[in-house]
Amino acid sequence: MKKLLNDPHAYVEEMLAGLVAAHPDVYRLHGETGRVIARADPKRPGKVGIVSGGGSGHLPVFTGYVGTGLIDACAIGDVFASPSVEQMVDAIRAADAGAGVLRLYGNYGGDVMNFDMAGDLVEIEDDIAATTVLLADDVASAPPGEAEKRRGVAGMVYAFKIAGAKAEEGGDLETVTALAQRTADACRSIGAALGPCTVPQAGKPTFEIEDDEMEMGMGIHGEPGVWRGRLRSADEVASEMMDKLLEDMPLGRGERASVLVNSLGATPLEELYILYRVVSKRLMEAGVEIVMPLVGRYATSMEMTGVSFTLCKLDDEMERLLKAPCNCAFWRV
Amino acid sequence: MKKLLNDPHAYVEEMLAGLVAAHPDVYRLHGETGRVIARADPKRPGKVGIVSGGGSGHLPVFTGYVGTGLIDACAIGDVFASPSVEQMVDAIRAADAGAGVLRLYGNYGGDVMNFDMAGDLVEIEDDIAATTVLLADDVASAPPGEAEKRRGVAGMVYAFKIAGAKAEEGGDLETVTALAQRTADACRSIGAALGPCTVPQAGKPTFEIEDDEMEMGMGIHGEPGVWRGRLRSADEVASEMMDKLLEDMPLGRGERASVLVNSLGATPLEELYILYRVVSKRLMEAGVEIVMPLVGRYATSMEMTGVSFTLCKLDDEMERLLKAPCNCAFWRV
């Protein structure tokens, strides 16, 4: 395991300690569990809260997007593991400012079970109204007919941004929830993996792959993709990824979309920009106007090698909110 | 070679094409060589220009820092290779707005030779006054007595920011140059490598290293470091790196410094934050006030595994300029 760490069991706590020490103006540790990060600035009474949560190992997702115009609090599990109900309850309380709380997170069984229970608890104990929107944007994880089974991946970033901006400008719980759902429905993602990462506590790579192989459609925790075969050229890979996204959500002349070309960790910016040529060419050929493209590391799996593309189809309000100000340690608009 | 690319000989051109396509509001290709990136916004007559340049493969360095309050143009070589004199001449011309141009770049033989010749040429042919400041911040690359032999690494980021802000607010060539030199003199860096990257045209890793080994002090192109040995814990590595920096540039009570905890590429944010705990503890114990710490990927070697730390000792003016607004695709203040 080629990592700079101390005790693997302290990985998450030490990571959070460093995050808060580096950005005390943005993040604070909240509550007793040591696993909830909340906004450092004071709550604004009457603002709808947005919480997220999930396993560690995906920075900036999820914790990193706590900030102005984004999410208010986040519950953090072990690497690739769900946070506990208690941690999620703490996160919901941290986000609550009297106007209800939206739970906005990825479609993974453990997270769904725990967040549902946490929501029930705060409704009973604290009288906090809690809604849910699940991201399920990974087109490789289930066919269109079973879209509710799909896993949530980098589309989350758009949902945080757009719903977060709406909450910041004073939208009520119903409005913010509806907008988060509209964004979730408008996102499609697909990944391609070249190499694994290592979960510190496990000490071995999440999957094995030959030196000349790649896997199209692999999930961010190493979930099986749609094919494994020889490594193809950047242009071939990008074209196939765009085919799969546009097949699932056709975009035509005059439509507007943002696109995220995301590194899963180790894949450098240079390669993302080589891929972006194809992405922008394909969208322009289809007559789609590209709004605020994102290229970088927005949702990772530590040092995994590979990329993901996310398309987010925009209406006027979503576009306005995507471009609205936000601030966290990893994204400033 | 596990990379998403097409023809390795087209790597740089395709990367630049993607960069400009993704951020047309920030970057534009300038001139005939296809290897100069300049600010997309119109020149402001009378503003001092700042150019940089060097080999590709270090994004966001160098090209990425073309932007408002940063540098004005950049000449880009092949991966880890100097740009040509012709490309540097083009970059200087792109940056010139009638008030002279500062050449601000890292201390590497090829870059120095070509930038000197380029400066001579534009002084003769275009009557552009050109000054030079070299970054030579890597303490592992030569002892203090031979500091002029040191290589330039991530300290460049501070020099771009501070000199760039001074140029943006109207400083003349002498003032901007002096401030860049003050910043270069106030920066100390050191790296630690765990794994190599692959230069696309070479097709094989820049160095070999065992699975349980690391190398302290290795340069960003794989230049030899100060020791190679078994991989140590994050806290041990961070402590030794801080020892070496503070030995070279002691900082005491009441002094102010920024610190950059930088991934060389593959090392994830999680590990950077684990390391940051030690960095901040050491500086606080010494009574040093940490100003605007930077944690992330600011100067990389593609998918190299490892980190670097940079300390930048600040005076009042440098601190003000570090906090001044800037905008490029990778850094917004």
The model carries a pTM of 0.98
Question: One-letter amino acid identity for A24?
Answer: P
Where along chain A do its domains lie? 10-185, 187-322
B266 interface with A at CB cutoff 8 Å = yes
Closest chain B residue to the Cα of A236, Cα to Cα = B6
| Inter-chain residue contact B270 with A295, CB threshold 8 Å | no
Q: Which two tokens stand for residue A25?
A: 């103006």
Please report the sign of the dihedral spanned by the C-alpha atoms of residue B73, residue B78, residue B79, residue B83.
Answer: negative
Distance from CA of B72 to the nearest CA of A (A): 20
Write down the ipTM of this complex. 0.98
Question: Per residue of chain B (333 residues), what is the pLDDT tens digit?
Answer: 689 999 999 999 999 999 999 999 999 999 989 999 999 999 999 999 999 999 999 999 999 999 999 999 999 999 999 999 999 999 999 999 999 999 999 999 999 999 999 999 999 999 999 999 999 999 999 999 999 999 999 999 999 999 999 999 999 999 999 999 999 999 999 999 999 999 999 999 999 999 999 999 999 999 999 999 999 999 999 999 999 999 999 999 999 999 999 999 999 999 999 999 999 999 999 999 999 999 999 999 999 999 999 999 999 999 999 999 999 999 999
| Inter-chain residue contact A21 with B332, CB threshold 8 Å | no
Question: DSSP string of B52-119?
Answer: EEEEES-TTTTGGGBSBTSBSEEEEEEETSPPPHHHHHHHHHHH-SSS-EEEEEE--HHHHHHHHHHH
Of residues B264, B140, B235, the one with CA closest to residue B190: B140
Mean pLDDT, residues A206-224: 95
Whose tokens are 């000349």? That residue is A212
Whose tokens are 């600040």? That residue is B314
Of the CA atoms within 13 Å of residue A278, those in its CB half-sphere come to 20
- 174-233 in B: which are within 8 Å (CB) of A? 192, 194-195, 197, 211, 231, 233
pLDDT per position as a tens digit, A73-83: 999 999 999 99
Instruction: Name the residue among A18, A192, A197 with its Cβ closest to that of B273.
Output: A18
Distance between CA B309 and CA B234 in Å, rounded? 13
Q: Where are the alpha helices (DSSP H) in chain B?
A: 11-22, 85-95, 109-125, 155-168, 173-185, 234-248, 269-285, 316-322
Closest chain A residue to the Cα of B331, Cα to Cα = A332
Q: Is the domain B187-316 a CATH 3.90.1010.10 member?
A: no
| Inter-chain residue contact B4 with A60, CB threshold 8 Å | no
| Inter-chain residue contact B274 with A4, CB threshold 8 Å | yes
Instruction: Name the residue among A6, A195, A303 with its Cβ closest to that of B233.
Output: A6
Number of continuous H segments (helices) and E segments (strands) in chain A: 8, 13
Closest chain B residue to the Cα of A59, Cα to Cα = B269
| Inter-chain residue contact B231 with A2, CB threshold 8 Å | yes
Q: Which two tokens stand for residue A275?
A: 């891929």
Q: What CATH topology corresponds to A187-322? A: Hypothetical Protein Tm841; Chain: A;domain 3 (3.30.1180)
Q: Is the domain B8-185 a CATH 3.40.50.10440 member?
A: yes
Q: What is the CATH number of domain A10-185?
A: 3.40.50.10440
Distance from CA of B195 to the nearest CA of A (A): 8
Please report the sign of the dihedral spanned by the C-alpha atoms of residue A220, residue A224, residue A230, residue A233.
Answer: negative
Instruction: Name the residue among A2, A233, A273 with its Cβ closest to that of B18.
Output: A273
Distance between CA A73 and CA A93 in Å, rounded? 9
- Per CB-CB distance under 8 Å, the chain B contacts of A300 are 268-269
User: Between the CA of residue B152 and those of A165, B55, B113, B249, what are the distances in Å?
Assistant: 41, 12, 15, 16
Q: Phi and psi for B326 in degrees, rounded to 5?
A: -150, 160
- Would you say the CATH fold of B187-316 matches that of B8-185? no
**Residues A270 and A301 sit within 8 Å (Cβ to Cβ):** no
Distance from CA of A122 to the nearest CA of B (A): 31
Q: Which two tokens stand for residue B158?
A: 């501070």
Q: What is the pLDDT of residue A1?
A: 65
pLDDT per position as a tens digit, A15-49: 999 999 999 999 999 998 999 999 999 999 999 99
- Judged by DSSP in three states, A291 sits in coil
**Residues A44 and A99 sit within 8 Å (Cβ to Cβ):** no
Give A49's strand partners.
Answer: A101
Provide the annotated active-site residues of B: 58, 221
At residue A306 the predicted structure's pLDDT band, cuts being 50, 70 and 90, is very high
Closest chain A residue to the Cα of B260, Cα to Cα = A22
Percent residues over pLDDT 70 in chain A: 100
A237 interface with B at CB cutoff 8 Å = yes
Of the CA atoms within 13 Å of residue A261, those in its CB half-sphere come to 29
Between helices B269-285 and B234-248, what is the axis angle to 10°?
50
**Residues B14 and B34 sit within 8 Å (Cβ to Cβ):** no
A117 interface with B at CB cutoff 8 Å = no
Give B135's strand partners.
Answer: B106
Distance between CA A79 and CA A315 in Å, rounded? 35
Instruction: Name the residue among A57, A60, A273 with its Cβ closest to that of B19.
Output: A273
The secondary structure of A139-164, three-state, reads HHHCCHHHHHHCCCCCHHHHHHHHHH
Question: One-letter amino acid identity for A178?
Answer: A
Other CB atoms within a 10 A radius of the CB of residue B226 amount to 15
| Inter-chain residue contact A18 with B56, CB threshold 8 Å | no
